Amino acid sequence: MPPRRIVLATAGSLGDLHPFIALGLALRARGFQAEIASSPEYADKVRAEGLVFHSVGPTLAELEARTGLDRVALTRAIGRSTVFLFEKLLLPHLEAAARETIRVAEGASAIVGSTFAAGAAMAAERLGVPFVPVALQPAIVFSAYDPPRLPTAPWLRPARAGLGLALNRLTIAAARATTARWTGRVDAIRAALDLPPEERNLLLDGLEGRDLSLGLYSPLLSPAQPDAPEGFAVVGPAHYDSEAGGPVALSPPLSAFLAAGPAPLVFTLGSAVVNDPGDFYAQSLVAARRLGRRAVLLVGPEGDASVADGPDAIALPYAPFSLLFPRAAAVVHQGGVGTTQQALRAGRPQLVVPYLGDQFDNAARVVRLGIGASLGRGGYRGRRVAAALERLLRDPTGVETAARLGGVAAQEDGAAVAAEKIVDLLSLSRRERA
């Protein structure tokens, strides 16, 4: 009998793809055929891991052509507005994505989907198979007890009762009312797929009404809250950081650099914000030199490696965080949840420079844990960065806390736990059908 198939649907940057590759490998280890449905750019990487790949959704080039924006302008537009993300990128492609997922998931036992793979839930409903939604970061769970920290709602704070909790609930209700205008467009797509109207809010209710939904992030960032949807579990992060698929290794130049001196500062903007770096890397190098520290600059595939203009620095397009971060003195990054959790697991102090989306919330959680600080992108100048890093590195309590929590985070294996929960769900479904 061939293995049962599970389709994993995701959309976005490498930070959205990598956890699903990790989950796919964990499901394969349990006897399932894991198949990833995502942007065509990721085909080679997924197949290099021996997983089945399905192209679903537009390529980056197609998005650029349809919006009239290059990747820098796209990154900036997403950073400025969630409305742009939903109304210009997600909704126009939702029906096509749903139909493509229906086609590739025919005969599958279940569909697992990330927040922004919105067509996946419709595909599962149309095919009559279980759908397991995945939150890759606490910010999209929208708990009134532990709400996201957002630039547009700076008054939101963790609360257990009283006025704070009431204010959080009121803010979330206002967000629900504001985004309800998308319901008509979603229902029109659902009608075209022969599905009934949907009561769930596209932005806020992706985890609701499921037998199983997963928080694929560290409970150190946020455990499941009292108002979590029934069936929701925070299982830990699903780490994966191979550059092209297959074994993970540091490049020979980076290995030689690390071996040649003391632990460096590591500066990265992840895989999305790196499209709009500004003078981040130049100012980072200024900061490192003010402190007399060596620097590793991860500038991305389109980045300028010449910024590292001396023996005290090296610039590379990519390096696996799991191997690099433990050898850093501190990590300066954009606050993507994958980067944040890799630095957390490495036990290193973090300076977070948020740019868009959930990065502001992740930065706030790093500060709340006592393992780092946050600095606004507009204030990212060498002198200020150096001062912030010096405070972090000279704070014995923060350094010790980062190391201690790193030991806890190193034991988390969200991919394995999530895979077991999915297997249990499918086993229960089969028994109920029998």
278 and 192 within one domain? no
Give the per-residue pLDDT at 298: 97
Query: Is 112 part of any domain?
Result: yes
Query: Is 245 part of any domain?
Result: no
428 and 402 within one domain? no
Q: How many domains does the chain have?
A: 2
* CATH number of the domain residue 111 falls in: 3.40.50.2000
The pLDDT tens digits for 186-201 are 899 999 999 999 888 8
Query: Is 244 part of any domain?
Result: no
Query: Is 81 part of any domain?
Result: yes
pTM score, two decimals? 0.94
- Helix (H), strand (E) counts: the chain: 17, 13
- Quick check: helix, strand or coil at residue 373? strand
**Do 182 and 91 contact (CB within 8 A), yes or no?**
yes
268 and 165 within one domain? no
418 and 401 within one domain? no
Q: Residue 398 is part of which domain span? A: 252-409
214 and 78 within one domain? yes
The pLDDT tens digits for 256-307 are 999 999 999 999 999 889 989 999 999 999 999 999 999 999 999 989 999 9
385 and 372 within one domain? yes
340 and 302 within one domain? yes
Query: Is 218 part of any domain?
Result: yes
Give the per-residue pLDDT at 60: 81
CA neighbor of 175 nearest in space, from 153, 197, 151: 153
284 and 195 within one domain? no
Residue 434 has pLDDT above 60, yes or no: no
CA neighbor of 429 nearest in space, from 153, 222, 131, 134: 131
Where residue 430 falls among pLDDT bands split at 50, 70, 90? low
Residue 353 has pLDDT above 80, yes or no: yes
282 and 218 within one domain? no
Query: Is 136 part of any domain?
Result: yes
CA neighbor of 291 nearest in space, from 394, 370, 400: 394
Query: Is 247 part of any domain?
Result: no
CA distance 126 to 123: 5
19 and 161 within one domain? yes
424 and 405 within one domain? no
Query: Is 246 part of any domain?
Result: no
215 and 276 within one domain? no
